[in-house]
Structure 1
Amino acid sequence: MSITSFFDKQKEQSLIKARIVEKYFWAWANVMIPSAKKYNSKIAYIDLFAGPGRYEDGSKSTPIKILETAISNPYMQNMLVTVFNDADTKHINSLQEAINSIPNIANLKSKPKVFNHKVGEEIVKILEQLKLPPTLFFVDPWGYEGLSLELINSVVKNHGCDCIFFFNYKRINMALSNATVEEHMNALFGNIRADQVRQQLKTLQPGEREITVVEAICEALKEMGGEYVLPFCFKDKNGNRTSHHLIFVSKHIKGYNIMKQIMAKESTEQHQGVPSFEYNPATYRQPLLFEFSHPLDDLEEMLLDTFAGQTITMLEIYDRHHVGRRYISKNYKAALNNLEAKGNITADPPANKRRKKKGELTFADSVKVTFLPKQ
Structure 2
Amino acid sequence: MSSDTSKFHKSKQSAAVLKHAVINSYVTPFASKTGSTSKGNRVAFIDGYAGPGRYEDGTEGSGAMLLRKANELTALNRKVECHFVENDAATVARLRDVASAEGGDVKYTITDDDISTRLPNLLDEVKDIPLFVYLDPCGLPIPLDEVASIFKRPSGHGTPATEVLINLTAGLRRFAGMLYSEKAIGNSLKRLDEAFGGDWWRDVWLDKCPTKEGSEDQKMLAELAVVEGYAERLRQQASGAGTWIIDVKPRVDLKPIYYLVFASRHPDGLVTFGDATSMGLELWRKHNAEQAAEDTLFSVAADWEDDWKSEEKKLKDQWIGILAARLTSELAKGKPFRIFDRADEILGADLAGLVRTMHLRAAVKEVLAAKKTTTDPKGVRDIYKLLLMPA
TM-score, normalising length from structure 2? 0.71
Note closer, same or farther for the CA distance 1:228–1:180 as it changes in structure 2 (3 Å cut): same
Whole-Å Cα distance in 1 between the matches of residues 150 and 44 of structure 2?
11
Alignment of 1:168-183 (within 5 A): 168=169, 171-178=171-178, 179-183=186-190
Contact 2:41/2:78 (<8 A) preserved: no
Note closer, same or farther for the CA distance 1:68–1:191 as it changes in structure 2 (3 Å cut): same
Name whichever structure is richer in strand by fraction.
1
Alignment of 1:91-240 (within 5 A): 91-102=91-102, 105-108=103-106, 110=107, 112-120=108-116, 122-123=117-118, 125-126=120-121, 131-144=127-140, 146-158=141-153, 159-168=160-169, 171-178=171-178, 179-203=186-210, 205-225=218-238, 227-237=241-251, 239-240=253-254
Whole-Å Cα distance in 2 between the matches of residues 364 and 247 of structure 1?
21
| Letter of the 1:48 counterpart | G
Contact 1:32/1:134 (<8 A) preserved: yes
Contact 2:73/2:80 (<8 A) preserved: no
Whole-Å Cα distance in 1 between the matches of residues 35 and 339 of structure 2?
27
Note closer, same or farther for the CA distance 1:200–1:14 as it changes in structure 2 (3 Å cut): same
The DSSP-based 3-state class of the residue aligned with 1:95 is helix
Note closer, same or farther for the CA distance 1:280–1:232 as it changes in structure 2 (3 Å cut): farther
The DSSP-based 3-state class of the residue aligned with 2:257 is strand
Q: How many residues align?
A: 336
> Is 1:74 the counterpart of 2:74 in the alignment?
yes
- Aligned match of 1:34: 36
- Aligned match of 1:264: 278
Contact 2:32/2:78 (<8 A) preserved: no
Offset at residue 26 of structure 1 (A): 1.1
| Letter of the 2:256 counterpart | T
Alignment of 1:270-309 (within 5 A): 281=288, 309=333
The DSSP-based 3-state class of the residue aligned with 1:73 is helix
Contact 2:88/2:112 (<8 A) preserved: yes
Contact 1:232/1:278 (<8 A) preserved: no
| Letter of the 2:255 counterpart | R
Whole-Å Cα distance in 2 between the matches of residues 161 and 200 of structure 1?
34
Aligned residue among 249, 266, 276 for 1:252: 266
Deviation readout 1:322-369 (Å, 9 max, x if unpaired): 268415445555666666788xx842269xxx99xxxxxxx9975743
Contact 1:239/1:280 (<8 A) preserved: no
The DSSP-based 3-state class of the residue aligned with 1:5 is helix
- Aligned match of 1:318: 339
Whole-Å Cα distance in 1 between the matches of residues 257 and 11 of structure 2?
18
Structure 1 runs not aligned, ≥5 long: 270-276, 356-362
Percent sequence identity is 16
Whole-Å Cα distance in 2 between the matches of residues 149 and 333 of structure 1?
37
Whole-Å Cα distance in 1 between the matches of residues 60 and 266 of structure 2?
30
Contact 2:205/2:226 (<8 A) preserved: no
- Aligned match of 1:19: 21
- Aligned match of 1:347: 373
- Aligned match of 1:360: none
Structure 2 runs not aligned, ≥5 long: 154-159, 179-185, 293-307
Note closer, same or farther for the CA distance 1:15–1:339 as it changes in structure 2 (3 Å cut): closer
Contact 1:45/1:82 (<8 A) preserved: yes
Q: Higher relative CO (CA 8 A, sep ≥ 6), structure 1 or 2?
A: 2
> Is 1:7 the counterpart of 2:13 in the alignment?
no
Whole-Å Cα distance in 2 between the matches of residues 139 and 78 of structure 1?
23
Contact 2:53/2:94 (<8 A) preserved: yes
The DSSP-based 3-state class of the residue aligned with 1:311 is coil
Deviation readout 1:57-105 (Å, 9 max, x if unpaired): 2223211221122223336787222211111011111111221122xx4
- Aligned match of 2:301: none
- Aligned match of 2:182: none
Contact 1:54/1:60 (<8 A) preserved: yes
For the aligned residues, what is the CA RMSD? 3.8
TM-score, normalising length from structure 1? 0.74
Offset at residue 283 of structure 1 (A): 11
Deviation readout 1:197-234 (Å, 9 max, x if unpaired): 23323337134223312221221221122622112222
